[in-house]
Structure 1
């Protein structure tokens, strides 16, 4: 069976059963143009940004959430989708994420309504000789514009036959965080005190990673004898034993809770709370985010916090708390992944070189602040489609 026939068979099997009729769901109030929005679970953050942009630029726009409670199944209920399109008369459909709701896409094609897909992520399974992969390829062929998040997805899209003019790589819609604040007078004073010394930050380090951080700093000192570590433990009660442990290894420690300062002799500065993370991110060109090495990551910070403040980011293999953000940073050559304690020590030592740090930090800043641009591209595609419909 040819690939196209396999895809059509998969669609027929998906949509062949007619669902019991159910009461029609309410439409958004107003008389403005209506957009149907369908969002995968992985793209909920993107949905909020794009929806806000659309409503700001077109206040009369009505948006119908196809995944809201009480809505018919956009995956399998073709009859309900047809009734919905007849009542709502949408000008377009916007999909966000990896899912391809078959009934919704087929109905849009029947009604000649364009479908735009943002935040699309594809993998090699799309190229397989299977009913599911064939059905997805058939659905992708019915989409007008596709914005993919990464080069691998773009490559897969081209391999499955999507024309070059239909697919663009934008990157994902990153969550935009407000920079953590700091006392500028304090930052300026400490920066002058550091006098250009290489420094790095280990943020929110759990007890299980304290030895790894110690080893990494000893390695950094071997590479740059004036290196300074800012250390923020997850538990303030660990400050005293940490001080003792570091001093046993011949290091000079200053404690923030005792109002001590990181003068020229100090090699480790231990902070007592997270309240000043904005200060340490600004002072440290390199940040290791604790919890990602051991998986003890309940208190791991958002990776865009240091990235947005110009600090290059190191992390371990446990990225479950912020998987999308880590994927963005790693994919943009904007962070350094280390598989274990030895690799952490190697990376911290290597990143005493200013040129490497500058490249990594610049890429991290670009990724962490670029989500608005991606959201704007998707928003513009929707509004351009609306302008065409209104002509």
Structure 2
């Protein structure tokens, strides 16, 4: 398929901007947003040798997308294929390092600059590429097409906001989507939007996140912390953003008289904000401890700040009540499936458009409850902490709702089976 003019223009512009991209990378490194020891990977330089044999490239942008792909990665390695997993954030790299099965390796995805993409593909030479959700990078899409490497979108998403934005560039998005061998969408709405934008082969397979295993936790750590907080009412504000930590602290102060031993756990979405969150608690007259400093939540701790990576499995197991962050702040909501699978009653704010289907299912099953503001959050937390039977009923309903929505991994594997066979044969499209 001939590379269209719009693609050649984009390629020329991004190539010309490469010096600025290098400057951006080094700025991000200074800010702690890039891994200092692996910055070359973002420019397509490999830090590991390519495994022998046939290889599938699997890409997810960040934590949730990449973790949802782990069952697919496991299935592929079980079929005898090597798997390269890429992501774009430091937190996702840290999480993935602990969960990759034998036969899979992780690299940071190269930025969408022609030379970086070419260098990356020259080294890894994938036989098949799977990208999660809405990762559509033009230079990468066209480079795969030119090399006749099949490209499949899995767990595909096309939000209403993204759909409206792409409608302003109809020829550009059609040119890109036509180069996907297959688009596997989470919902009927996602599939319809992708089809209207020009994807020729679209199927609904469901959301992979419903099938992802819950995050692990060291049983010894669970037992140790459970002993430290035994007898205390505990709740968790997870994956929080600015403004939501203040809400959690305000709730703690409002409930302190009724629950004098209350422990509020706050896990900011970006762990580097730990000092900021602890300072907010101190300004409110509360005693804060930070996980990153090795401080356990002793009896004097009011607010415990979890500013570490890869420990949410531990703290979901300790917290019967969880507020999911990104829902009181206008972010769009983070994935509530993990706490649902680990036995928590879930609270959330009104901003859930990034995961509307999941929250709707949980709300309908009465496994989750929406709160509109700080006052509503305080009332809900107070009621759940004071009513263990209600909390257990909500947690059970949440777990059952998530389980009922599973099956996307099997449907995805069935859909990409012809491409898996091609990859194992080393065949090209």
Measure how far apart 1:39 and its partner are.
Answer: 3.5
1:209 to 251, 255, 258: 251
Whether 1:338 and 2:366 are equivalent positions in the alignment is no
Distance 1:24 1:231, change over 3 A: closer
User: Which among 44, 49, 57 is matched to residue 36 of structure 1?
Assistant: 57
Q: How does 1:117-128 map to 2 (within 5 A)?
A: 117-124=153-160, 125-128=162-165
User: Please, which moves more after superposition, 153-162 or 100-109?
Assistant: 153-162
Which one of 11, 18, 36 corresponds to residue 15 of structure 1?
A: 11
Q: Is the 8 A contact 1:147 1:168 kept in 2?
A: yes
Query: If the length of structure 1 is used for normalisation, what is the TM-score?
Result: 0.56
**Closer, same or farther in 2 for the Cα pair 1:317/1:232, shift >3 Å?**
farther
Partners in 2 of 1:136 and 1:318 — Cα distance? 28
Match of 1:386 in 2: 420
Work out whether residues 50 and 379 of structure 1, in 8 Å CA contact, stay in contact via their aligned partners in 2. no
SS in 2 for 1:336: strand
| Cα 1:179/1:25, change in 2 over 3 Å | closer
Residue of 397, 405, 409 corresponding to 1:362: 397
**TM-score, scaled to structure 2:** 0.52
Question: Equivalent residue for 2:215?
Answer: 177
Q: Shift in Å at residue 308 of structure 1?
A: 2.4
Quote the offset at 1:116 in angstroms: 1.1
**Highest RCO, 1 vs 2 (Cα 8 Å, sep ≥ 6):** 1
Q: Distance in 2 between matches of 1:71 and 1:360?
A: 37
Of 66, 75, 83, the match for 1:45: 66
Give 1:209 shift: 1.1
2:194 aligns with 157
Per-residue deviation at 1:314? 1.4
SS of residue in 1 equivalent to 2:205: strand
Q: Deviations over 1:15-74 (max 9, x none)?
A: 3469599x9956844431122344324656337725751563134525375978798654
Q: Equivalent residue of 2:369, what SS?
A: strand
**Does the aligned pair in 1 maintain the 2:368–2:394 contact within 8 Å?**
no
Look up the SS of the partner of 1:46 in the other structure. Answer: helix
Tell me the distance in 1 between the aligned counterparts of 2:44 and 2:218: 46
Q: Deviations over 1:301-356 (max 9, x none)?
A: 9955642243321134699xxx97x7675253252221214433665699879899
For the pair 1:61 / 2:61, whether they are aligned, the reply is no
Residues 364 and 153 of structure 1: is their aligned pair in 2 closer, same or farther, counting only changes over 3 Å?
farther
Distance in 1 separating the partners of 2:110 and 2:304: 49
Task: State the shift of 1:168 in Å.
Answer: 3.4
Contact 1:127 1:156 survives alignment (8 Å): no
Cα deviation 1:163-197 (Å, max 9, x = unaligned): 574443325475622378677xx99xx9xxxxxxx
In structure 2, C-alpha distance between the alignment counterparts of 1:201 and 1:230, rounded to whole Å: 9
Q: Which residue of 1 aligns with 2:172?
A: 135
Change over 3 Å in CA distance of 1:232–1:350 after alignment to 2: closer
Question: Which residue in 1 is equivalent to 2:135?
Answer: 99
Offset of 1:98 from its aligned partner? 2.0
User: Does the 8 Å contact 2:209/2:337 carry over to 1?
Assistant: no
The answer for the alignment partner of 2:269 in structure 1 is none
| Contact 1:49–1:375 (CA under 8 A) maintained in structure 2 | no
Cα deviation, 1:193-235, whole Å, max 9, x if unaligned, reads xxxxxxx9644795421354479x8xxxxxxxxxx99943459
| SS of alignment partner, residue 152 of structure 2 | strand
Aligned to 1:232: 263
Q: In the TM superposition, what is the alpha-carbon distance from 1:142 to its structure 2 partner?
A: 1.9
Number of positions where the alignment pairs a residue of Structure 1 with one of Structure 2: 319
Query: 1:9, 1:131 within 8 Å by CA — same for their partners in 2?
Result: no
Two-structure CA RMSD over aligned residues (Å): 5.7
User: Aligned in 2, Cα 1:139/1:128: closer, same or farther, shift over 3 Å?
Assistant: same
Counterpart contact for 1:157–1:167, Cα < 8 Å: no
Q: Which runs of 5+ in 2 are unaligned?
A: 19-42, 89-105, 238-246, 266-277, 287-297, 306-313
Relative to structure 1, the CA distance from residue 170 to residue 302 in structure 2 (aligned partners, 3 Å threshold; closer, same or farther) is: closer
Tell me how far apart the structure 2 counterparts of residues 272 and 126 of structure 1 sit (CA, whole Å).
Answer: 41
Query: Would you say the 8 A contact 2:56–2:81 is kept in 1?
Result: no
Q: For residues 97-116 of structure 1, what are the alpha-carbon distances to aligned partners after superposition, in whole Å with 9 as ceiling and x for unaligned?
A: 42212223223334443211
- Give me the whole-angstrom Cα distance separating, in 2, the residues matched to 1:84 and 1:278: 39
1:310 aligns with 2:343: yes
In structure 1, runs of 5+ residues without a counterpart are 1-6, 191-199, 218-227, 243-255, 258-269, 296-300
